[in-house]
Structure formats: C-alpha cells, structure tokens
C-alpha cells in the first residue's frame, strides 16, 4: 500500500487539531479548512523529523475567510 505524501504545518492558529497533514500534490501552497474559512500555508525548504518520518515543513501565511 502506498501512503500519500504528508507535511508538517508550522504557525497558524493554536486550535488546528493536527499538524501533520496529507499534501496533494506536494510542493505547492496548501489550504486547510479551519473555523470560518481556510488557513493558508506555503512550502519551505526545511524538513522536520516526526513520528511519521522526515517531512517537509509548510509555514502559515494567512487566514482566508469563507465567502
């Protein structure tokens, strides 16, 4: 079984339930649904060791309200 690529989220609101998320496709901007909209993250050149392996780090950029 092949697992989908994942990334570590850095920054953003404290209320995000998970900091390791699937990314499809890897290497581009990521939007995570949260509260009344989305949290936007951008890929960095950094990697972080996690229980799920060495993963790319995406850092928080902004909150995008719904609508």
What confidence tens digit (pLDDT) does each residue in 13-57 have? 999 989 999 998 777 899 999 999 999 999 999 999 999 999 999
Establish if 19 belongs to a structural domain.
yes
* Predicted TM-score (pTM) of this structure: 0.87
Establish if 32 belongs to a structural domain.
no
Question: Which pLDDT belongs to residue 25?
Answer: 79
Q: Which domain holds residue 1?
A: 1-27+49-59
Establish if 34 belongs to a structural domain.
no
Whose tokens are 């995406």? That residue is 58
Edge-to-edge strand ranges of the sheet holding 20-22:
20-22, 6-10, 53-65, 37-50, 30-34
| Cα separation values, 35 from 2, 4, 13, 60, 65, Å | 31, 25, 10, 15, 9
Question: Which pLDDT belongs to residue 27?
Answer: 76
Cα 30 from Cα 4, distance rounded (Å): 15
Domain count, the chain: 1
């Amino acid at each position: 079984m092949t697992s989908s690529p994942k990334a570590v989220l850095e920054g953003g609101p404290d209320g995000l339930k998970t900091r390791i998320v699937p990314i499809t496709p890897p290497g581009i901007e990521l939007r995570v649904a949260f509260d009344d909209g989305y949290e936007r993250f951008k890929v960095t050149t950094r990697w972080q060791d996690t229980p799920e392996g060495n993963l790319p780090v995406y850092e928080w950029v902004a909150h995008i309200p719904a609508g």
